[in-house]
Amino acid sequence: MVDALRRQHPAWRLLVADHAPLIASFLQRTFVEPNVRVMAQSALVEALEDTLFGLREQLGEQAFPKSANEYLNDWAALERGWLRKFYPPGSDEVHFDLTPATERALSWLASLTDRAFVGTESRLLTLFDLLQQMRQGSETDPQARVRELHKRRDAIDDDIARVLAGNMPLLDDTALRERFMHFTALARELLTDFREVEHNFRSLDRSVRERIALWQGAKGALLQAILGERDAIAESDQGKSFRAFWDFLMSQSRQDELTQLLEDVMALPPVAGLQPDPRLRRVHYDWLDAGEHAQATVALLSQQLRRFLDDQAWLENRRIMDIVRSIEARALGVRDQMPPGDFMTIDEQSASVT
């Protein structure tokens, strides 16, 4: 399996490519850091030409002999698979986007850099909280749930009493920095996930089109199979998780709360000392943009699928009309000279209704 990944997986091929440092750094700077989902060919060529010009000044003209457009087409070729090249609806200009494999490779490369410190407390608390959520969320005994709620209420009452008594335990600078770095990593990973969600939806659409093209049975059975598959995707773990995320983030009160939380946290001196990326102040809007792009992809695929089915229906209707006209022509041909014997037999004069 590892050998197959080494030979076939785009992420592995990128890491061992001749110009891997150029490819990784350029795509990271152009797509990942600013959270750009799609870029027109003209803008991407211009950005790459600027990068190549600087490198040729340092390393010589022969360091990168191809043009920017040739490099982009090479990176988007099927045997590479590092960029997705496509025409968006309503545009006659080629656009590019990262593939999920490329973004995973870039994330792995970023994880290789030295970290200021390895935080373990926040991760342990996250794991502990996840276990508690799973246990409490799967508990079916009402009495056990009530006991757990009373326990949590008692703990809150104790916290209130300590605060009223002037005892307010605070997180130290190390704990604040650790939790903020953990938040930053998770926020970036969430943006990365959206490209894979879009990729999975496009893969579903492609498999459905292949099934339509090769279908030989009744159209009703085809539609039932297609709708059943789309429902299965929507009800899958990934589909349910994405829908829950979207419903949570689309709440205006949640957006306002996230905005205020980010402003308050970024203003903390230990966090400000880390000089965080200013774009983190609006990372939840980046999540919304990425989510809307995924939703738009699903809507576009649905429209294209409907048009594809309409084309199939038109072809089927045309075939039926050709058969009807053939029957009419044959009937007119024998109108003046009726054939002898039985012209047609019918097994039943009426249909039996079940």
- Per-residue model confidence as pLDDT tens digits over 109-167: 887 876 655 666 677 777 777 777 777 788 788 888 888 888 889 888 888 888 888 88
Same domain? For 138 and 268 the reply is: no
> Does some domain include residue 347?
no
Q: With 80 as the cut, is the pLDDT of residue 203 above it?
A: no
Average pLDDT, integer, range 269-284: 81
**pLDDT greater at residue 309 or residue 5:** 5
The total number of structural domains that make up the chain: 3
Give the whole-angstrom CA distance, residue 213 versus residue 207: 10
Residue 352 lies in a domain: no
Percent of the chain clearing pLDDT 70 (strictly above): 84
**Is 79 contained in some domain?**
yes
Give alpha helix (H) positions in 215-349: 219-234, 237-249, 252-266, 269-272, 283-333
Tell me whether residue 342 is in a domain.
no
Would you say residue 81 lies in a domain? yes
Please enumerate in sequence order all residues whose Cβ is within 8 A of that of 28, keeping only pairs 6 or more positions apart, or say none: 106, 109, 110
**349 assigned to some structural domain:** no
pLDDT of residue 232 exceeding 60, the answer is no
Q: Are 305 and 165 contained in the same domain?
A: no
pTM across the whole model: 0.59
- Tell me what the mean pLDDT of segment 207-229 comes to: 68
Co-location of 63 and 162 in the same domain: no
Judgement on whether residues 153 and 184 belong to the same structural domain of the protein: no
Q: Are residues 43 and 149 in the same domain?
A: no
- Which of residues 169, 202, 237 is at a domain's end? 169
pLDDT digits (tens, 9 = 90+) for 218-227: 666 766 766 6
Tell me if 158 is assigned to some domain: yes
d(CA 142, CA 161): 28
Same domain (yes/no): 292, 331: yes
Distance CA 155, CA 254 (A): 26
Question: E strands within 109-172?
Answer: none
Asked whether 246 and 295 are in contact (CB, 8 A), the reply is yes
Pair 184, 308 in one domain = yes
- One domain, residues 43 and 68: yes
Taking residues 249-260, report their average pLDDT. Answer: 82
In a shared domain, residues 194 and 263 = yes
Whether 348 is covered by a domain: the verdict is no
What domain range includes position 25? 2-111
Under the banding of pLDDT at 50, 70 and 90, the label for residue 349 is: confident
Q: Which of 2, 5, 10 is nearest to 76 (CA)?
A: 10
> Are residue 165 and residue 179 in the same domain, yes or no?
no
- Would you state the pLDDT for residue 96? 92
The residue among 130, 153, 169 that closes a domain is: 169
Residues 163 and 178 in one domain: no
Q: pLDDT class for 334, splitting at 50, 70, 90?
A: confident
User: What pLDDT digit, counting tens, does each position of 60-80 carry?
Assistant: 878 888 899 999 999 998 888
Q: On the CB side of 4, how many CA atoms lie within 13 Å of its CA?
A: 1
Q: Are residues 162 and 243 in the same domain?
A: no
Higher-pLDDT residue of 179 and 120 is 179
Task: Please indicate whether residue 236 or residue 179 has the higher confidence score (pLDDT).
Answer: 179
- For 313-345, the DSSP string reads HHHHHHHHHHHHHHHHHHHHHTSSSPPSS-S--
Task: Select from 67, 88, 111 the last residue of a domain.
Answer: 111
Q: What is the CATH number of the domain that holds 56?
A: 1.10.10
**Over the chain, what is the mean pLDDT?**
80
